[in-house]
């Protein structure tokens, strides 16, 4: 009798181990075809971007004065731009710039948002009040206007200034989400138990609260990656982003600010335009997939 019970208990335990929330989520995510195709696309784009020095046929700053504005074909797979640079080479190097800025900004923003959100949600009281009033205050700025004005002031400082400006102005929404999730997590008994056995607030947040807030943070991070890439390309397009000598998807689109380029030289602006759109689309699908995978209510 007792042996059957232990056997059953063991079996149940085994099953329970198999069915950890992360395992369920991973299985669900792997079944999501759209998310998997998007992930594959993003991985391929990232690999191409970082292998740019190896696979690009030309030097990114090489200028071919005779073959300016030449259509696709011949030596140049995707044609050349106004200055005689190879569009395919610029596209590869541009991907590297745009993706790097996107990823670095994403990590910076997620770090700021996690620190402020978890401290605010865990401590509550006046700490929460001060931090949240500050967050509300930051939320009142029109994001793009302030990014443009700040980026124009620090225009000479280069890419790092751009990353700092973008990160400092865009953590508010994610911080709020992390805070509310931390607050609801804090009410659970295990947190109380952790505090009661003498865990310091920092340790309790790091070891007990954060792992449970992680899913929310991951979903926020994917959304932010898309937002940051769009912000960088839009700024570069307007001339306030990456310095014009460095290829980036936004800088490539900048030439399309002249109507005659839009009308006559589609090969200059169509490749970066499609690259940005499909990358954002892929990131959004991955984000949706992750969100869906961690949602216990979803049927998939």
Partner 1 sequence: MLLYTLRRILIMIPIMVMISVVVFALALAMPGDALSGQIDPANSDPEYIEEMRERLGLNDPVHVQYGRWMAGVVQWDFGRSFVHRMDVTEVIGQRLPNTILLSVMSLIITYILAFTMGRYAGRHPYTPGDYGIQGINYLMLAIPSFVAAIFAIFFFSFQLGWFPATGSVGSGVTPGTFEYYLSRLHHAALPALVLGGLTTASYTQFLRNDIIESSQKDYVRTARAKGTSENEIYNKHILRNSIIPIVTLFGFDIASIIGGAVIIETVFAYRGIGELLISSIDRRDSSVVVAVTLMLSVATLVGNLIADLVYGVVDPRIRVE
Which residue, 194 or 282, is less far from partner 1 as judged by CB?
282
Task: Determine contact, residues 49/96, Cβ cutoff 8 Å.
Answer: yes
Which residue, 7 or 257, is less far from partner 1 as judged by CB?
257
- CA 162-166-168 angle, 5° bins: 115
Q: Cβ 153 to partner 1, closest distance in Å?
A: 5
Q: How far apart are CA 286 and CA 35, in angstroms?
A: 5
Which residue, 25 or 265, is less far from partner 1 as judged by CB?
265
Q: Cβ 257 to partner 1, closest distance in Å?
A: 7
- Beta-ladder partners of 86: 80
Q: Cβ 111 to partner 1, closest distance in Å?
A: 23
Which residue, 60 or 287, is less far from partner 1 as judged by CB?
287
Q: Can you give 193-254 as a three-state secondary structure string?
A: HHHHCCCCHHHHHHHHHHHHHHHHHHHHHHHHHHHHHHHHHHHHHHCCCCCCCCCCHHHHHH
Residues that bind partner 1 (CB under 8 A): 137, 140-146, 148-150, 152-153, 226, 230, 233-234, 237-240, 253, 256-257, 259, 262-263, 266, 269, 273, 276-278, 280-281, 284-285
Q: How far apart are CA 111 and CA 223, in angstroms?
A: 15
Q: Cβ 53 to partner 1, closest distance in Å?
A: 27
- Residue 149: left if φ>0, alpha if ψ -120 to 50, beta else—which one? alpha
3-state secondary structure of 67: coil
Q: Cβ 20 to partner 1, closest distance in Å?
A: 30
Which residue, 97 or 114, is less far from partner 1 as judged by CB?
97
Which residue, 122 or 237, is less far from partner 1 as judged by CB?
237
Q: Cβ 185 to partner 1, closest distance in Å?
A: 23
Q: How far apart are CA 174 and CA 138, in angstroms?
A: 12
Which residue, 40 or 55, is less far from partner 1 as judged by CB?
40
Residue 295 is given by DSSP the state -
Q: How far apart are CA 93 and CA 198, in angstroms?
A: 52
Which residue, 200 or 264, is less far from partner 1 as judged by CB?
264
Of 220, 241, 216, 211, nearest in space to 109 by CA: 220
Angle between helices 210-238 and 266-294 (to 10 degrees): 170
Q: What is the distance of C-alpha 52 from the center of its chain? A: 21
Q: Cβ 129 to partner 1, closest distance in Å?
A: 14
Q: Cβ 171 to partner 1, closest distance in Å?
A: 17
């Amino acid at each position: 009798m007792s042996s059957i019970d232990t056997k059953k208990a063991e079996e149940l335990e085994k099953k329970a181990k198999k069915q950890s929330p992360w395992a369920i989520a991973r299985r669900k995510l792997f079944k999501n075809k759209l998310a998997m195709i998007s992930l594959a696309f993003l991985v391929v784009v990232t690999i191409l971007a970082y292998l740019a020095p190896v696979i690009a046929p030309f030097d990114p700053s090489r200028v071919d004065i005779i073959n300016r504005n030449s259509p696709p074909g011949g030596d140049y797979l995707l044609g050349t731009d106004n200055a005689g640079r190879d569009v395919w080479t610029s596209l590869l190097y541009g991907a590297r710039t745009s993706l790097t800025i996107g990823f670095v900004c994403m990590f910076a923003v997620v770090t700021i948002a996690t620190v402020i959100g978890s401290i605010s949600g865990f401590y509550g009281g006046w700490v929460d009040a001060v931090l949240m009033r500050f967050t509300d205050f930051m939320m009142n700025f029109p994001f793009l206007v302030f990014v443009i004005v700040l980026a124009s002031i620090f225009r000479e400082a280069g890419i790092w200034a751009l990353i700092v400006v973008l990160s400092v102005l865009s953590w508010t929404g994610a911080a709020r989400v992390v805070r509310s999730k931390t607050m609801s997590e804090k009410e659970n008994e295990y947190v109380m138990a952790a505090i009661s056995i003498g865990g310091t607030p920092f340790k309790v947040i790091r070891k007990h609260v954060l792992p449970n807030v992680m899913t929310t943070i991951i979903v926020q991070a994917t959304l932010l990656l898309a937002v940051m890439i769009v912000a960088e390309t839009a700024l570069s397009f307007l001339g306030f982003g990456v310095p014009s000598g460095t290829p980036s998807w936004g800088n490539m689109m900048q030439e399309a600010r002249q109507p005659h380029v839009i009308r006559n030289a589609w090969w200059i602006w169509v490749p970066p335009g499609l690259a940005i759109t499909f990358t954002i689309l892929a990131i959004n699908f991955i984000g949706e997939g992750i969100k869906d995978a961690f949602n216990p209510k979803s049927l998939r």
